[in-house]
Amino acid sequence: MAPQKTFYIETFGCQMNVHDSEKVIGTLEQQGYARVETEDAADLILYNTCSIRDKAEQKVFHRLNDYKALYKQGKRFGVLGCVAQQEGERIFERAPFVSLVSGSASYRRLPEMLVQIEQGATRVTGLDDRQTSETFETEFTARSNPHRGYITIIEGCDKFCAYCVVPYTRGKERSRRSASVLAEARRMADSGFTEIQLLGQNVNSYRDPDRLCTFAELLAAVGQVPGIRRVRFTTSHPRDFTRDIVDAIDAVPSLCDHVHLPVQSGSSRVLHLMAREYTRDQYLERIAWIKAAKRPISMTTDIIAGFPGETPQDFEATIDLLSEVQYDGVFAFKYSPRPNTPSLSMPDSVPEEEKSRRLQILLDRQREIQRVNYEKHLGQVLETMVEGLNPARAQIIGRTSQNKTLNFTTSQPIAPAPGVYLPVRVTKAFPNSLVGEAVVQ
């Protein structure tokens, strides 16, 4: 018998990249490959890449450089995902030992591309037109978590924010048929999954090709699939965030009480420069809908510090927004220029040192807000899904419906298995996590 073919895959970036890697892993395993845990043990080494920020892109090329010596041992390398789509065949010039360059829209062609590599081809590309909807229907998916799974319902982006590379790497927005989404949700429930996360670059911009339901109606329908206890969605665009999404969260208990709504800046002037298509007041209107919900909904966001032209007054407007909204979490980053984006030609760039200073001020302010917010949970009993164990601290790792980490202990002699839901009373609070004790039932 011929020795089994092996592969190693490393994933950079967001949940959509993680789910894309699940599709790649499933396809490779179906083609007779076995996954291994190190580059040294693999015949084929794959990096599924992200290009949202400059450092993520650089990390991929650094990783390639670190392991290029393995090429002399007969190993082959592939670059997948957004950097692959963005750089295309230029990757072969920058890293001549790479054999495969493929964007996410071409993963359905992986079997034929693998055959080419096995036959000795040294430059195989999958850089299809990014208008296809075939990427939704993937026959083989190796889900990494047996209890929580992803479903991509919309690909691409039509917004063309001034700083963002996604429209150039993922293509135009195209939505998956609602019937297909619900069929996959039912299959997952039948397989034992209890939590589903709906994914999209702008998930709430979803438009059913069959015009059978809105995003809010699809959200509710997934939440009503028997066996599904939690439904999440990410990432939302404020322009397309509608009041009926909040109504759906109120009406369907399985829809998690957490909304991630990226604002990027608290200044309407900067939002206009960013081409975000909403003002500060319009964003706050949506926050008001969320705060008026029947049950408390946790809110998180993304913010860019030091966008070109951002004045000290603009930055203060962002800090003021933190205080007004009271987010439970903020993903904040310094602005970094990305290829092909309009912001590359914008004047008045903020000096790097000033970007760092503003970012630190923002993070310090947000940490204090989170400290107060998390302390509000003290004494509450929260339903918690077990994710694993932390032997070093003798704690069980859990997550609440609001997407907050809740580590806890139990008086039971046998620790609960991952995927189990338990009531946990919160006894301690930190700015990024909670600690508690399982309630004896």
Task: Give the model confidence (pLDDT) of 214-269 as tens digits.
Answer: 999 999 999 999 999 999 999 999 999 999 999 999 999 999 999 999 999 999 99
Q: Which two tokens stand for residue 123?
A: 């430059």
Cα separation, 75 vs 45, in Å, equals 7
Can you list the alpha helix ranges (DSSP code H) found in 238-311?
A: 243-251, 268-273, 280-291
CB 403 within 8 A of CB 370: no
pLDDT for residue 132 is more than 60: no
- DSSP codes joined into one string, 230-258: EEEEE---GGG--HHHHHHHHH-TTB-SE
Kindly indicate the confidence band of residue 409, based on its pLDDT and cuts at 50, 70 and 90.
very high
pTM of the model: 0.88
CA distances from 65 to 12, 61, 71, 90 (A): 16, 6, 11, 15
CATH number of 5-126: 3.30.470.30, 1.10.3720.10, 3.20.20.140, 3.40.50.12160?
3.40.50.12160
Mean pLDDT of the region 123-129: 82
Domain coordinates of the chain in residue numbers?
5-126, 381-438
**pLDDT of res. 88:** 86
Mean pLDDT for the chain overall: 92
The answer, yes or no, to whether residue 130 has pLDDT greater than 70, is no
Fold category of 381-438 in CATH: OB fold (Dihydrolipoamide Acetyltransferase, E2P) (2.40.50)
